[in-house]
Structure 1
Amino acid sequence: MELKSKAQAGSFESSDVLIMVEPVDKGAGRTIELKSIVMQQFGDDLLRQIHSELDGFNINDVRLIVNDKGALPPTISARLETALKRAAHLQTGTLK
């Protein structure tokens, strides 16, 4: 998947996550800025999940800002997929 613009999905509500995606130059790698209210307990799990999702979409070069308010894994997956599809112009939404 080729990211073409900035995009976001989610909210700052309790039990949700706001994910902002920004394309970067090829070869720049992944930059993930993660803030979570459950960072001590689940920070490593969250990062593993995010990397796994990015692998599934074959995305190696991206900047992500993830603000988690205690979202469950399926919510995180859905928000990340939506933000990535919006950034690739495969789905319309915020910051297109």
Structure 2
Amino acid sequence: MKIIHAAVAGTLESGDVMIRIAPADGQEIDLQINSSVEKQFGEAIRATLLQTLRHYGVQGVQLIVDDKGALDCILRARLETLLARAAGLAALPWENAK
């Protein structure tokens, strides 16, 4: 999936997450996480986000995550919404996802 412009999804409410994405030079994923539960769940948050990006074949992006204790299902839902917005899609290609 090609990210063509910057986008934002989510809120800064307790139990939610705000994620911002922007295209970046190269193929690297610049992942910055700021979380109120990073000491306990930082690695799990990172793994969920990177797994979702790999699932949709996303590379060459900067991802800034402000987490307020969101569950994994919320992380994935917000990121999938963000990817559709940033790729200019009305919806994600569920059947054709890598």
Instruction: Check whether TM > 0.5.
Output: yes
Which portions of structure 1, spanning 4 or more consecutive aligned residues, are displaced by more than 2 angstroms? none
- Structure 2: runs of 5 or more not aligned: 92-98
**Distance in 2 between residues matched to 1:91 and 1:69, nearest whole Å:** 27
Q: How does 1:1-96 map to 2 (within 5 A)?
A: 1-25=1-25, 27-91=26-90
Question: Percent identity, aligned pairs only?
Answer: 41
**Distance in 2 between residues matched to 1:91 and 1:8, nearest whole Å:** 15
**Distance in 2 between residues matched to 1:24 and 1:85, nearest whole Å:** 17
Count of residues paired in the alignment:
91
- Structure 1: runs of 5 or more not aligned: none
TM-score, normalising length from structure 2? 0.89
**Distance in 1 between residues matched to 2:86 and 2:55, nearest whole Å:** 16
Paired AA for residue 70 in structure 2? A
TM-score, normalising length from structure 1? 0.90
- Greater relative CO, 1 or 2 (CA 8 Å, sep 6+): 1
Deviation at 1:38, TM superposition (A): 0.4
**Distance in 2 between residues matched to 1:79 and 1:8, nearest whole Å:** 9
